[in-house]
A and B are shown apart, each in its own frame.
Chain A
Amino acid sequence: MPANPDDLPDDERATALRLGALGRPTAADRDLDAPPPDLWDHISDEAFAPPGEMNAPADAPNGADAPGAGVVDLSERRNRRQMVGAKVGLAAAAAALVLIAGVAAVLVSRSSGTDTEVVAATDLDLLAGGGSGSAELVQTDDGLELVVDVSDLQPQADSDFFELWMLTPDASAMQTMGTFEATSGRVEVPVPASVDADEFPVVDISEELDDGDSTHSGKSILRGTLS
């Protein structure tokens, strides 16, 4: 039982007592491993009918090496939403692991007082809506980190959250870095080792609707190029 339940409102006291009863999480509680890589295929086969539907688009050649391939108009992408979602799905688990590992590395490096160095920075220009911001690419012992400060973000229209992206200079390809809701504050995200910051130097903040479409809404609020 915590020594200070009186510090808490009634609705939180029960949670505090329950935490005390469960006990402090052990190393075993945090010893997490990824499931077998083919498990999702088994789950999707069983959960979604007909079996195999989700796999077909991912197995199709995507023409990635062809010049100009992959540049798709936003409206067309929306119509292809399910296919895009399926294709993206295959890589998602691995990507999530990369980010989790990155966060852990960042936290460890901070707690041990590791020095950091700003390797690139930019102010973010207002494209639409409102707000201001800046971005820095920071080199830590554990890799690159993107640090973005924003103030008073205002969307152009009704939206549910903001999303941070890294883009190629011609916006032909992009990398989501995460979503957030706060209109002011600092967001720090590890840049996965698989992402070449030189190739994706444009930092973009968009407004997004929670509509299940994981692609860029096309509504950018702030943008700047790291240099």
Chain B
Amino acid sequence: MTCAVAARPHTPEHRVTGRRLDIRYAAVVDQSPTLLEESVVAGFAAGDEAALKDLYDATSRLVFSYCRRSLGTDGAADATQEVYVAAWRSRDRYRPEKGSLTGWLMGIARFKVIDALRASGRRPEVADHAEPEDQGRVAEGIEATAQRMLVADALDQLGERARQMVELAFYDDLTHTEISERTGVPLGTVKSDIRRGLDRLRRHLEGFDASES
């Protein structure tokens, strides 16, 4: 079946038409959300320019905010630009089986931040802003901040229940049984949520590790 379809004009009131926006932006109940990579990565690897735009749309807040935090407002835009241009030019080196595209991108951002700090004569190791003391122990430094921001972003995309399960398990140190008792969520669901969430986070961190300077 073929039906006639049309693009809507880009007026401020109707901004989205015919664009494939991954459901990772939406709440999906009782189903694993689709990773950004699955809809973008093929086009990205194939050199589809629209795929880079999709990737930028989905990740530029994260990348830019990391660069801004590490470099300050002045250098953040330039560093962000370098990240996406570098990613585009080295796209044939990205291997989906080795980790997520978002993680790989943040890995590149980490290198660009380090480059920018060195170019300006600053020491990357001490560049992070101080963390609030009441937030508990937080690893500092360019590398850890990039990874933790990546994790935070991924956690927020897990869906509310799975995010809660993962946080209770790994930041509040509750056992699966304790989480089940405390939240009323069946133990099997707790286990599957945590496994799925952890698998997602692992993919992102592996992507981070797989990037090259």
B53, A178: Cβ atoms closer than 8 Å:
no
A30 and B152 in contact, given A62-B10, A92-B19, A176-B21 (Cβ under 8 angstroms): yes
B49, A94: Cβ atoms closer than 8 Å:
no
Chain B residues engaging chain A, CB cutoff 8 angstroms: 1-23, 25-32, 34, 38-39, 42-43, 46, 48-54, 56-58, 60-65, 68-69, 76-77, 80-81, 84-85, 88-89, 129, 131-132, 135-139, 144-145, 147-149, 151-153, 155-156, 160, 167, 169-171, 173-176, 191, 195, 198-199, 201-202, 205
Question: Scoring A residues 18 to 50 as 1 if CB is less than 8 Å from chain B, else 0, what string do you get?
Answer: 111111111111111111100110111011100
Task: With both chains docked as a complex, state the minimum distance between the C-beta of B87 and any C-beta of chain A, in angstroms.
Answer: 9
Roughly how many angstroms separate A88 CA and B173 CA in the complex, as a whole number?
45
Chain A hits for B173, CB < 8 A: 2-4
B17, A210: Cβ atoms closer than 8 Å:
no
A96, B58: Cβ atoms closer than 8 Å:
yes
A74 and B3 in contact, given A19-B151, A187-B28 (Cβ under 8 angstroms): yes
Contact among B1, B26, B32, B139 with A177 in the assembled complex (CB-CB below 8 Å)? B26
B139, A23: Cβ atoms closer than 8 Å:
yes
Question: Scoring A residues 68 to 105 as 1 if CB is less than 8 Å from chain B, else 0, what string do you get?
Answer: 00111111010000101111111111111111100100
Chain A residues engaging chain B, CB cutoff 8 angstroms: 2-4, 7-9, 11-12, 14-16, 18-36, 39-40, 42-44, 46-48, 54, 58, 62, 64-65, 70-75, 77, 82, 84-100, 103, 106-107, 110-111, 127-128, 161, 163-164, 171-182, 185-190, 192, 194-195, 208, 210, 212, 214-216, 218-220
Contact among A15, A34, A164, A176 with B16 in the assembled complex (CB-CB below 8 Å)? A176
Task: With both chains docked as a complex, state the minimum distance between the C-beta of A23 and any C-beta of chain B, in angstroms.
Answer: 4
Chain A hits for B129, CB < 8 A: 28
Closest to A20 in B: B170
Task: With both chains docked as a complex, state the minimum distance between the C-beta of A10 and any C-beta of chain B, in angstroms.
Answer: 12
Roughly how many angstroms separate A30 CA and B63 CA in the complex, as a whole number?
12
Roughly how many angstroms separate A7 CA and B174 CA in the complex, as a whole number?
11
Q: Is the interface of B mostly helix, strand, loop or mixed?
A: helix
Roughly how many angstroms separate A131 CA and B11 CA in the complex, as a whole number?
36
Chain B hits for A106, CB < 8 A: 27
Chain B hits for A163, CB < 8 A: 20
Closest to A88 in B: B19
Chain B hits for A65, CB < 8 A: 9
B84, A47: Cβ atoms closer than 8 Å:
yes
Closest to B167 in A: A24
Closest to A181 in B: B34
B169, A185: Cβ atoms closer than 8 Å:
no
Closest to B49 in A: A48
18 other A-B residue contacts (CB within 8 Å) besides A21-B139, A74-B4, A96-B21: A2-B169, A3-B174, A3-B175, A4-B173, A7-B169, A28-B131, A32-B65, A39-B81, A43-B81, A44-B49, A74-B5, A77-B7, A85-B53, A88-B7, A107-B160, A176-B18, A194-B14, A194-B16
Contact among B6, B27, B81, B85 with A188 in the assembled complex (CB-CB below 8 Å)? B27
A96, B81: Cβ atoms closer than 8 Å:
no
User: Which of B6, B34, B85 has the most A CB atoms < 10 Å from its CB?
Assistant: B6
9 contacts between A and B (CB under 8 A): A3-B173, A35-B64, A86-B49, A89-B50, A92-B57, A95-B21, A99-B21, A171-B4, A186-B31
